[in-house]
Amino acid sequence: MAPKTSPTKFSLLGTKFMVSVQDMERAIAFYTNVFSLDVSFHSSHWSELKYQSSIIALHGGGSTEFRNTGLSFTVDDIQGACDAVVRAGGLVRSGPEDRGDEGIILAHLTDTEGNGFMISQGK
């Protein structure tokens, strides 16, 4: 258990998950087309895509070499989501796979920029 600390003097306003991209326009097209994310800010080096209170920040200067990110999406139709990823230029690396006692079906994918991410669906 973490030690008790004094109350914070600030308010947390939100969180962002950042991934690096080589081609900002291609990356924006991928995430808006596949996951219907809204573009809330756009520039050639930094863009922010939103879904409700979640923000995925795209940072320019990346490469298309594969890298795991930890990014994960939960969907209601994992096969449909995997198909949409492929149609948008991404790859399905594995799955969808029933994860047994974990209570999910899980797939590992890659976006157009080499970012590895996961999609899960509850069982």
Percent of the chain predicted with pLDDT > 70: 97
Angstrom CA distances, 80 to 7, 51, 74, 88, stand at 45, 19, 12, 12
User: How many domains in the chain?
Assistant: 1
The CATH number given to whatever domain includes residue 65 is 3.10.180.10
**2 belongs to a structural domain:** no
On whether residue 4 sits in a domain, the answer given is: no
Q: Extract the tokens encoding 97.
A: 């796979």
Range of the domain at 95: 16-122
Confidence at residue 6, expressed as pLDDT on a 0 to 100 scale: 67
Asked if residue 105 is part of any domain, the answer here is yes
- Name the phi and psi angles at 16, rounded to 5: -130, 150
pLDDT per position as a tens digit, 49-88: 999 999 999 999 999 999 999 999 999 999 999 999 999 9
